[in-house]
Amino acid sequence: MACATKATIILFLAFVICCQADTDRPGACKLSDLHISVVKTGKEVQGQPEYQVTIDNQCSCAQAIVTVHCDGLPSVEPVDEGKIRTEDGGVCLVNDGLPIAKGSPVVFTFAGKTAPDFAPTMAVPHC
């Protein structure tokens, strides 16, 4: 029984070391690699300011199934649902879940009283 426990511990430690090495390798993506800017366009729609949102991936690998916090994205103008779509739980799916490559940002506009924080909540790297 002691041998089985030692073997389990060794396998667990090997797994942890392997996974740690994988997250430190060049090209490993993090949520912080998704840069999101929100700027007012200067236009008003139904008395509400319009914002332009740019979601840019700074990782060398594309990132797919990107979701951001959006509070349902309250907008008084239609929003391109291929670029951002509300999902359950106050999050929005970006780019229909398709990969966002470095240098190919997703850009959309919406109009509302204030802009949600659009903090990234999930992304799946595609290396």
pTM of the full structure:
0.76
Q: Does domain 31-126 have CATH number 3.90.550?
A: no
| Model pLDDT for residues 62-109, shown as the tens digit of each residue | 999 999 999 888 899 999 999 999 998 899 999 999 999 999 999 999
- First CA to last CA across the chain, in angstroms? 41
| Pairwise CA distance, residues 94 & 87, whole Å | 10
pLDDT at 71: 87
